[in-house]
Structures are given as structure tokens and as C-alpha cells.
Amino acid sequence: MTAPLPMPHNRRRPGCPFRPDTALERLREEPELPRVSTFNPQLGEFEAVLVTRLDEVRQVLADPRYEAGFAFDGSGPRTVMNQPGILLNYDGDAHTHYRRMLSGAFTVKRVRSLAPAIRRVVDERLDALEHAGPGADLVEAFAGPVPLLVICELLGIPAEDRDGIQRRSATGTDVGNTLETQLENFAAMAAYMGELVRRKRAEPADDILGDLIRRHGHELSDDELIGMGNSILVAGHETVSSMIGLSVLALLEDTDQLAVVRDDDSAAPGAVEELLRLLSVAPPLVRQAATDLELGGRPVKAGERVVLSTLAADQDGELVPDEPTRLDVRRRPVAHLAFGYGAHQCVGQQLARLELQIALPALLRRLPGLRLAIGFDAVEYREDALVFGVARLPVTW
């Protein structure tokens, strides 16, 4: 019996981490909706409908009858899918209630005000990288630390705690770990965030948790704040870290595109949108049909789980008719699905954009001779992680 694939929605071509696997691309043309066997250490092995077409991925994400939330079990151990306060665990009015609270921390005005702090973090990491080099693992020295330091600063996490945060975040997004390991890790995450919440309740600081407590502390339990804090921490760190590493790899492979990002001050916003579309590193979007439904005239039965491939959808010719699998940082931005779609669209997406717009040009300008220290074919990937990315990126300059 063939073992289930942990990430069937996110399979890449061998040797080409920027393009869907050929089998995944072919599924867009199949007349029937494919059912795939997949595995998650918290859900176990399960069969799911795999959706790859752009219009159908959007349809599922916009239709509230495809539910995102899972029922809480108060007697069971806390997990990502069994923790109050995590937005992905709610639908309808409950989701709107929690989302409205979190959205206040990520307004456009507030995100823009963070630009000086992000530039400071980026410059400090580049100073350290330049001083230690030439030669480094860019994931360890830059792509990992920059978003971690930014999100820890936003949450008010002390500097001495950040190594532990990074270790627990990496463990939590590795689907290769056993359920026992995941439960132990999430318990450690919850314990740490619980202590942080208690300190913030006693003395709210000028950070996201402090702001939530000042505005909504009377409405939110510690358990809910723990869920909110950990979801911001993991989502705000892992996805941006993976995007930095994989974006640098994509640009190093195409030096003409790299030169545009490095040399044109106005190119960063469009380049980031194109990289977000092409690379689609986000974690799997899983839904469950609340009733019998149809998708493109094809049946989806009540209770069936649905896994959505934003990787395949974002390289669908319906979204980008002109060479959708090619990186073009001058391409006019399109309405990609890198941050989801509909009610559950990523609440922190503007912060992620800003970090990438600052970090990528700054790196390329500081180290104009940046290049891979190994062959492209030797780069290792986190293929079975919840967030796809490079495992290590040895570079020199």
C-alpha cells in the first residue's frame, strides 16, 4: 500500500521548486474531482477532495458551506486544531468576532508605522552577516531571524526567549513529527504564551498582546489570548521566513530578475506580489463540506474534507495567461491566492508584504556579489513541512 502524501497539494517538480509537480498540473484538466489520501499528525490519515483549478479554489474559499472550523473538545489535549482563539478554528459569527479584534492590530496605518523597526532588524542582521562572512547559510543567518525578530518585537517577547520560540515554531510546522511530539510541543508553546499573557494582563505594553488586552481583555479569556498569540507568532514567522529564502533562491537562478529588484527602488512591491504568486509557500487550506455540494458540476458530499492547492491555482492560465510558470518581477500584479481568499484571508498579509519589500532589496544591495555556494540541484527543501521552503541555503559573496 502506498503511504499517504503529507502535502499532496504542494508537490513540486523534482529539481524545480517553483513549479507544481506534473501530476498536480494534470489534475486541473481531469473531468472528475480527485480524492487523495493525505496525513496530518493531528488528524491522522484521511481522504480529501483535492482542488487545483483557480475558479474552484476561489469558490470553496468564498462559500461558508465549506467550513474551516473543527469542533472543540474541551476534555482533549490542546492542539492547533483544538485551541480557542485561533482564527482558522472558527466560522461565521464567531470567526468575525475574533477577526475584528485582531484586525485592529494590523491596520494599514499601524503596519506602515512598523517600517523603521523592520529596517532596523534587517540592517542589524545584514551587519552580522557581512561581519561573519563571506559565506553563510542564509536561512539560519537572515531568512529565519528577520521575521522572527520582527514578530517577537510586535508581541513583546524578550530577546532571550527567541531561540526557544524558533525551535518550537519549527517543530510545530513539521508534519513528519509524531502526534506525541506535536502534543508536547504545543503544550510548551501554550505554557510559554500563557505566562506572557499573564505578564501583559498585569502590565499591558505597547505591542499586539498589550493592545488586545487593553481593548478586549474583558472579553477574552487567557486561553483565547494564548491561541491568538501563538497563531500570530507561527504564521508571522514561518511563512515570511520561507518566502525570503525561496525568493532569494528564485532570484539567484534568474540574475536578470535579481538585478531589477536590486537596482530599481520602485520594483519591490510588484516583485513581491509576483514572488508570492509563483512560490505559494502557505500552509494547506483544509475545508469540510457542511452539506452536499457541487464544484464545477461535480459532487462533493457532506462531511468530505477538501484540500486546496493555491500553488496550482496561482499558476493557472486563467490567472496569468502569459507564461504563468515563469518569474517576471515586472508583471502587473494579479489577485493571487498566496494569502487565501474570502473570509479567512490572512489578517497579517500587509505586514508580510512590507517585510519582504524591505528585506529582499536590502539584502541584494548590501551583498551585490551574492551567489549560491552549492549547485542549484544540491539545495534541500522542507517538502513535508506545513510551510514549503528551503531547509538550508548556503551562499557566498
CATH number of the domain that residue 100 is part of: 1.10.630.10
Cell digits of residue 315: 499558476
Strand partners, 232: none
- How many independent structural domains does the chain possess? 1
Place of cell 479567512: 344
> CA–CA separation, 330 vs 328, rounded Å?
5
Place of cell 525578530: 149
Q: Strand 293-295 vs strand 285-289: parallel, antiparallel, or unpaired?
A: unpaired
What's the confidence (pLDDT) of residue 72? 65
Give a yes or no: residue 26 inside a domain.
Answer: yes
Give a yes or no: residue 165 inside a domain.
Answer: yes
Give a yes or no: residue 2 inside a domain.
Answer: no
Cell digits of residue 39: 496525513
**Length of the chain in terms of residues written:** 397
What's the confidence (pLDDT) of residue 157? 87
Per-residue pLDDT tens, the chain, 397 aa: give them: 456 677 888 999 988 999 999 999 999 888 999 999 988 766 778 899 999 999 999 999 999 999 997 666 766 777 777 788 888 889 999 999 999 999 888 888 888 999 999 999 999 999 999 998 899 999 999 999 999 999 988 888 888 888 888 788 777 777 677 878 888 888 888 899 999 999 999 998 888 899 899 999 999 999 999 999 988 888 888 899 999 999 999 999 999 999 999 999 999 999 999 999 999 998 888 999 999 999 999 999 999 999 999 999 999 999 999 999 999 999 999 999 999 999 999 999 999 999 999 999 999 999 999 999 999 999 999 988 888 999 999 999 9
What's the confidence (pLDDT) of residue 308? 95
Give a yes or no: residue 3 inside a domain.
Answer: no
The DSSP element (H or E) to which 314 belongs, if any, is helix 310-314
What's the confidence (pLDDT) of residue 121? 95
What's the confidence (pLDDT) of residue 166? 77
What's the confidence (pLDDT) of residue 70? 64
Residue range of the domain that includes 311: 8-396
- Three-state secondary-structure class, residue 66: strand
What's the confidence (pLDDT) of residue 1? 42
Cell digits of residue 234: 507561527
Nearest to 272 by CA among 329, 334, 349, 325: 329
pTM: 0.92
> CA–CA separation, 362 vs 247, rounded Å?
13
Nearest to 259 by CA among 151, 334, 370, 162: 370
**Cα–Cα distance list, 96 to 155, 208, 214, 350 (Å):** 22, 18, 19, 19
Contact 226, 218 (CB under 8 A): no
Place of cell 474552484: 56
